Structure formats: C-alpha cells, structure tokens
Amino acid sequence: MDAPLADSRRRFLAACAAAGLSGTLLPGVLWAQIAAQGTAQVDAAMIRAAAQLAGLSFGDDEIEALLAPVNRSLAQMRRIRAAKIPNDVAPPFYFSPLTPGMAVDRRALAPRFSAPGRVERPADLETLAYWPLLRLAALLRSRQVTSLELTQMYLARLRRHNERLNCVVTMLDELALAQARQADAEIATGRDRGPLHGVPWGCKDIIAVRGIRTTWGSGAYKDQVFDYDASVVEILREAGAVLLAKLSTGELAGGDQWWGGQTRNPWKLDEGASGSSAGPGAATAAGCVPFAIGTETSGSILSPSARCGVTGLRPTFGRVSRYGVMALSWTQDRLGPMCRSAEDCAVVLHAIAVQDGRDLSVGDIPFNWDAGSDWRELKVGYLPQAFADADRDADWKRNEQATLAQLRAMGVKLVPLRLPDFDTETLQLSVEAAVFFDELLRSGRYRQMTSTARAERFRASRLIPAVDYLQSQRLRAMMMRELAAATAGVDVYLAPSTLGAPRPSGSAAAAPPSASQRHSQMANLACYPGLALPNGWAASGAPTSVLFMAPPYAEARLLALAKAYQDATGFHLRQPPAFAVA
C-alpha cells in the first residue's frame, strides 16, 4: 500500500472510530462515511481509499470528476443526519410476499368458530388459567364469570410466577381493572364486541402503549414512554380485550436476555425461553395470560413458541399492522398471536388482521376462518431433506417422525417437497435495523445498552454499500420465486423447527446451515406464514415442536390442519408441572 493511500486509510479508520463505527468490520463502505472524520470536504485520497474498500478502482481523472458530486451528496447526507425522524415513519416502499402468478382469495367471509360446548363456572377460578379462548368467551357472555374476576385471577398468577419466569416488564393493574370493569358493564347491557370481549392478554414490550414505558428490552430505553398506542393495542381494545402487562423481550428484539435478566422456560427453568418474544411465550405457557402478542423478524415468534410449548403463529407479512412497534426490518417484521391452540390463534388473528391506514404494507386480503372446513381436502407436503438432517436432536427427530405418522394415520397423503438450492447466507445481508437505530449509534446512547453486542451488528450494517444491499434484495426476489415454485403444489407443508438442530459449538460460524436452517431462512425472508406447535416431549421433560407452513395469506388452511392434528393428539393441553392447575 503506497504512503498516501495508507495515510488516507488511517484517517478513514480514525473517522469511523470517532463516528462510533468499527473500521475493522466489513470491507464495503459508502464513500460518505469517510467524511465522518469531521472535514468539510471529501478529497481525492479519501475517495481512493473508499474505492479500495468497496472493491472498486478509479483512475485519477475519474476521481477528480467524482469530487463535486460526492461532496454534494455529503452535504445532503449531513442534512439527513440532522433531521429528526419519528420512530413510526417507515420508508415509502412496501414489500409484498406475493410472487408473479401467485393467487390469493380476496373474498371476505364471516368467521365460523367452533361451538364451545356447555360451560360452567368452576369452584376454583384458577382452573380457568389454561382454558381456550372460546370457552372463556362463553363463560363471560353467560355472565357466570366476570371479566374483573378473570383479570384479577391472571394478574395474581403473573405476580406469583414472575419471580421464577422473569417475563414481566411492567404490570398494568390499574389499566387492566378499568378495562375489565368496562367490559363487564358492556356485557351486562348486551353489547358484544366479539369472542375477545373481556378476555385478558399480554403485550410484548416493543409494542407501544400510551403513557406506559416501552423499554424495547434495553437499558438504553428503560424510561422510554410514547404518547400513542400501537395499532394492535387499539384494535384489541376495540375488541374488548383487557391488557394485563408489558411482557419481556430480548434487548432490541434479540434473544431472551433483557435489561431485567433472562426470561425462563416454564418447562425447564434452568434454560431461557428463546427468541425475543420470550415473555409472551413464557407467560402464555405458564397460564399467566390466555394469549399474548409477539413479534418476529427472524424466528422470534416461532422459536419461543417451540421452546415454551405454546402454539405461536407468525402470519404472512402484511397481515397485521406494525404501527407503533419497534422496527428491525420494514420488509420482514410481523406481529402474531401466541396462544395455546391453533383455533385460539385463529380467534386472535381474526381480530387483529385489519387495515389501519397507518401501516401501508397491510393489504386488503381477508382472513376467512371456518372451523368446519374439511381439512381432508388439503394438499399437504413435507420436507424430507430437512427432517433427515444428520445433526437433529434424537428426541426431536423421534417426535417429528411420529407427527408425520400421525398425519398419515389421519388420512393425510404427504407429498415430498424439495428445497431450492439457494445460498441463504448471502441473503442475510441487511441494513434496515441500522437505519432505525442510526440515532442510537450516532448519539453514543448505545453505551447504555445492557449488552453492546447488538450495536456491533448495527455498526457492521452501517458499512454495507447501498448498491450491494439492493442487489441482495433482488437475489431475495429470485429466491422467493424458487420457493414459490417448490411449494406450488400444496396448500400446507410441514417443516422441522430449527431448535431441534443446534449447530456444533466452537465452529458455528464456519458450519454451513443445515437443511432445516436453510428452509427457515428462506421461508422467513419470503415472509411465509408459519405455526409452531408442540408435538411431544424430550427426555428432559421439555416440549418439542414442529412447524406447519403455508404460502402467503393461507393461514386459514394452515390453522385448519393444525387444529385437526391438535384435536387428534392433545399435546397442546399439557401444562408445565411447576405452573399447572387442577
């Protein structure tokens, strides 16, 4: 390296450090970041160094010609950085999970839920802790139990069990009791807001609730309070649901570690609840809430649902508004219900899958639930390559094969599918979280994070050229088309959970993804709906889980087959022994 280039590289690295960026991370970098060292203008040496880092080569005349436009861009970027952009403002482009030729049903039909059967008030109200939503709704409508009684019971369970679970960030007793009293008053006059009227629920703590702290699981945001509600909070309030608590999320929606510690798995208290929707998963599994709302960017509903043995639905991208919710990716983030059964998920999704006029990614494709639909008419596939992964845990593998055998015994003809041969690791290139948290890094506030590891990843993303990021999105579109072609012949298909295939310790970074992991990455990036549901137990006593998947906007078919499987097996009815009720 010649002396001027070496000198400019040193200046570049010093500038990155001064701007809170790590110059030792990715080699690709925008020229504008060179100017972060504080000089008024970009000079030729800076462009030469930036070009080398970006894998480009320019002659002296070309560099001279670039000086004026690059400095104009620098001035524009300085104005952008000085602007204050509210959290609820997304970029004006909207991702669609649909690929060319993919058809969806746009007819809106009235929902048809299962009949709850005869319900009677139990002598001990705590035995209601694990009841399905439709039976709770029947009790409330018949006025055998009041919403206030139900709310007080769940609040008491949350308080009693939180010490072991560490799943609550903020208890909302005052709000919950007021909403319960309102629900009782309305039910007494004959007003019916639907099956969630008077039913309590829990909210992941990246979802804004007006006047209540929304900490995003991070020490950097412990005192953050918004003056508005997220759309999903408004929608569930209009449905008459009663909000009990803000439930824990991994820091900035990553993992199960937050500023208050680690959220625990109710089935195995010596391990974490997994995934950033850890609080909703643990609280639902332990019978502390009837249902919760989680969020997912890359496994944060499906993973904690699998770990905690609940039934968690990751809907299609664009099903549920994300207004008022912390963003990690405007082209991947989704909200979904975490419940104890497939039909509970259908009840909740029907309530929240509405357009709000705020999140413009939400389409007008209805969710038409019919509990009486004939699941036997569905074409069902499975991924033999993924189920056969050599490194799968023996208990998980045994229960997965039992799941396939159970479906065949029910009369389901399973069609083998083959995964596209696509380099999914390349598709993980992303800058969206770095955009949302740009102010966190520039302000130095990241130093208040409980763990700064996530900030390191944001810094790395900040060094990805826009051209390469957009090229990765084009590759993503190609992958989506290949996945659509591979699954085109089925209505629903089965896949293994990634929790059953841990990577070897010490060489995880170098190990290629297994077939189950490649599928998970593809389906997630394609924004397919998925349902994690328990399918048995490991020798440790912890639950195992399997995934029911479907093409975009086919949640009704997916849930219909899952309901039939749960009706036949009853795995979802089992309660963690340490939190069980009679």
Cβ count within 10 A of residue 563: 24
Mean pLDDT computed over every residue of the chain: 90
Q: Which residues pair with 415 in a beta bridge?
A: 381
Q: Which residues pair with 516 in a beta bridge?
A: none
Catalytic annotation present for 204: yes
Catalytic annotation, pick one of 218, 231, 276, 430: 276
Do 249 and 216 form a contact (C-beta atoms < 8 A)?
yes
**CA dihedral (87, 89, 94, 97) positive or negative:** positive
Do 239 and 201 form a contact (C-beta atoms < 8 A)?
no
Tell me how far apart the alpha carbons of residues 364 and 239 are, in angstroms, rounded to a whole number: 19
Q: Which domains does the chain have, with CATH numbers?
A: 1-83 (no CATH), 125-426+464-579 (3.90.1300.10)
Q: Which residues pair with 146 in a beta bridge?
A: none
Tell me how far apart the alpha carbons of residues 7 and 23 are, in angstroms, rounded to a whole number: 14
Convert the pLDDT of each residue in 344-365 to its tens digit.
999 999 999 999 999 999 999 9
The position carrying tokens 């009949």 is 115
Q: Which runs of E-coded beta strand occur in 89-216?
A: 168-171, 200-204
**What pLDDT, on the 0 to 100 scale, is given for residue 428?**
81
The type of residue at 245 is: A
Name the nearest CA neighbour of 428 among 491, 340, 517.
517
Catalytic annotation, pick one of 8, 204, 274, 321: 204
Catalytic annotation present for 276: yes
Give the residues of the chain that fall short of pLDDT 50.
Answer: 1-6, 8-35, 505-508
**What pLDDT, on the 0 to 100 scale, is given for residue 5?**
41
Do 228 and 89 form a contact (C-beta atoms < 8 A)?
no
Q: Which residues pair with 293 in a beta bridge?
A: 203, 337
Do 208 and 244 form a contact (C-beta atoms < 8 A)?
no
Do 325 and 334 form a contact (C-beta atoms < 8 A)?
no
Do 324 and 229 form a contact (C-beta atoms < 8 A)?
yes
Q: Under DSSP, is residue 158 helix (H, G, I), strand (E, B) or coil? A: helix
Looking only at the bridges linking them, the beta strands covering 268-272 and 257-258 are unpaired
Tell me how far apart the alpha carbons of residues 515 and 522 are, in angstroms, rounded to a whole number: 10
Tell me how far apart the alpha carbons of residues 251 and 303 are, in angstroms, rounded to a whole number: 16
Catalytic annotation present for 563: no
**What pLDDT, on the 0 to 100 scale, is given for residue 557?**
98
**What pLDDT, on the 0 to 100 scale, is given for residue 35?**
41
Catalytic annotation, pick one of 147, 248, 277, 300: 300
Do 343 and 555 form a contact (C-beta atoms < 8 A)?
no
Contacts of 510 (CB under 8 A, 6+ apart): none
Backbone angles phi, psi at 380, to 5 degrees: -120, 130
**What pLDDT, on the 0 to 100 scale, is given for residue 69?**
86
